């Protein structure tokens, strides 16, 4: 199952299954997010949802994406100050970030093995491991 053949009914079910009250705004935002195969910023999501006529405010986009993230429906990826991507792929994986173009590309978990993990401080547990490999165009000397 993946990013094709999403429809709003299916988004509604996913939200309900996750314990999120599926209001119309949330379904719209979820549909924009899941039906896209890309990594979108909050700004881009709002533009897609509001493409025809105003449906949601920016505040609602942020609040909703935060809510989704709390229910593991989306993953936040931070690459630059003030630049957060929302990744509908929530399974463990990592990212290439193209500094020049601003594009973000998945790295399957299997392609990047972390060898030794450091000892954790007592009474703590890992919430998430973020690996971002920043790439730039090779300099032409």
Partner DNA sequence: CTCGATGCAAACAATTTGCAGGAGC
Partner DNA sequence: GCTCCTGCAAATTGTTTGCATCGAG
Point out which residues bind a copy of itself (CB under 8 A). 76, 78-82, 84, 96, 98-99, 107-108, 111-121, 123-139
Can residue 48 be called a binding residue for DNA (CB under 7 A)? no
Can residue 2 be called a binding residue for DNA (CB under 7 A)? no
Which of a copy of itself, DNA, none is residue 47 near (CB under 5 to 8 Å by kind)? none
Smallest gap, in angstroms, from Cβ of residue 52 to a copy of itself? 28
Provide CB contacts within 8 A for 121, sequence distance 6+: none
47 token code pair: 């533009």
- Return the range that interacts with DNA (CB under 7 A); candidates 1-9, 17-25, 95-103, 117-125: 17-25
| CA gap 50, 41 in Å, rounded | 14
| CA gap 83, 102 in Å, rounded | 10
Nearer of residues 4 and 116 to a copy of itself, judged by Cβ:
116
**To 10 degrees, what angle do helices 42-49 and 58-70 make?**
120
Can residue 45 be called a binding residue for DNA (CB under 7 A)? no
Binding residues for DNA, rule CB under 7 A, total 22
For tokens 């032409």, what's the residue? 140
For tokens 């942020």, what's the residue? 62
* 99: helix, strand or coil: coil
Can residue 24 be called a binding residue for DNA (CB under 7 A)? yes
**Which residues contribute to the site for DNA (CB under 7 A)?**
21, 23-26, 41-43, 55-60, 62-64, 66, 81-84
């Amino acid at each position: 199952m993946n990013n094709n053949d999403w429809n709003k009914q299916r988004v509604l079910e996913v939200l309900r299954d996750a314990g999120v009250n599926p209001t119309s705004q949330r379904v719209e935002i979820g549909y924009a997010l899941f039906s896209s195969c890309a990594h979108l910023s909050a700004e881009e999501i709002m533009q897609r949802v509001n493409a025809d006529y105003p449906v949601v405010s920016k505040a609602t986009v942020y609040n909703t994406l935060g809510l989704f993230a709390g229910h593991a429906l989306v993953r936040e990826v931070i690459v630059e100050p003030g630049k957060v991507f929302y990744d509908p792929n929530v399974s463990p994986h990592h990212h290439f970030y193209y500094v020049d173009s601003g594009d973000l590309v998945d790295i399957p978990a299997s392609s990047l093995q972390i060898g030794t993990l450091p000892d954790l401080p007592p009474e703590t547990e890992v919430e998430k491991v973020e690996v971002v490999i920043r790439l730039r165009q090779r300099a032409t000397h």
